[in-house]
Amino acid sequence: MNIFETIAAEIADLKARDDFDVRNATTYLVPDFPANEKNLRYAVAATSDAAVPEDILSALRIDTELGAYWIYQGKAGTKVSGEFVLCSPLVFMMESRLDEAFFDEPYDGIDLRETRSIDYAAYSGRGIHALLRVQKDRLIDNVLLFDGRHVYAMGLAYLDYVEMVRLTRGIAYWQFLFCQGADIGAPRIETIRQGLELLAATFPDEDYSDLMLRLERLRT
């Protein structure tokens, strides 16, 4: 089972739980992928203006989008939500998905017309986008985060980012744990803390110790 199949299975598991309200779930994967992979690769090459690294092409397993928006509704007083929408390269290489209003000027030296949105959170993340940049006719395997005001380097390659999506189940603002120098304010930090504590309690077999350490560094 590859990472995208694992994420699809974990979305199904969340939907089966009484303590999670899962909305807008899309878990469709390309059927008979080995037989269709060659044609999908050809389609990306034919429609894209940049070469796409192999690790990123592995996301062709996704049929358009893979994601969910969920709200925890278990313990009273615990307000935690999460969201992610991972896209197939066939989708994000054809269109930006960013509002064209962001193309008027660079953000932290980045021309957003040169980026492609690989994941976004419209509800719980209030418009956060994970981006990859196109440089010299090649998609660069280094994920950036755009929050509508600033662009941050996350220091994650694409598949590392996808694994973090799986581990965090897309809790709100988790990406800032990997953004050095981000000043996101106490409310967002508290939202991340509540999310990590819920995940650690709900999925005891997962290891969230590194993310907890990153949260402490973010606080300081």
Q: Where residue 178 falls among pLDDT bands split at 50, 70, 90?
A: very high
Q: Where residue 23 falls among pLDDT bands split at 50, 70, 90?
A: very high
Q: Where residue 182 falls among pLDDT bands split at 50, 70, 90?
A: confident
In this prediction, residue 160 carries a pLDDT of 98
CA–CA distance, 174 with 211 (Å, rounded to integer) = 9
CA–CA distance, 126 with 188 (Å, rounded to integer) = 11
Q: Average pLDDT, stretch 125-129? A: 83
Q: Which helix (H) or strand (E) holds 174?
A: none
Q: What are phi and psi of 205, to 5 degrees?
A: -80, -10
CA–CA distance, 86 with 88 (Å, rounded to integer) = 7
Beta bridge partners of 71: 21, 81
pLDDT digits 0-9 by tens, 36-58:
899 999 999 998 889 999 999 99
Q: Where residue 75 falls among pLDDT bands split at 50, 70, 90?
A: confident
Domain boundaries of the chain, sorted by first residue: 3-219
Residue 125 has pLDDT above 70, yes or no: no
In this prediction, residue 114 carries a pLDDT of 94
pLDDT digits 0-9 by tens, 130-172:
999 999 899 999 999 999 999 999 999 999 999 999 999 999 9
Strand-pair category, 144-146 with 151-153: antiparallel
Q: Average pLDDT, stretch 113-130? A: 90
Residue 213: half-sphere exposure toward Cβ, Cα within 13 Å:
4
Supply 69's token pair. Answer: 């928006």
Percent with pLDDT over 90 in the chain: 84
Q: Where residue 83 falls among pLDDT bands split at 50, 70, 90?
A: very high
CA–CA distance, 85 with 49 (Å, rounded to integer) = 23
Residue 199 has pLDDT above 80, yes or no: yes
Does residue 195 sit in helix, strand or coil? helix
Supply 139's token pair. Answer: 């998609």
Q: Average pLDDT, stretch 95-119? A: 93
Strands (E), 141-185: 144-146, 151-153
In this prediction, residue 206 carries a pLDDT of 98
Supply 137's token pair. Answer: 């006719």
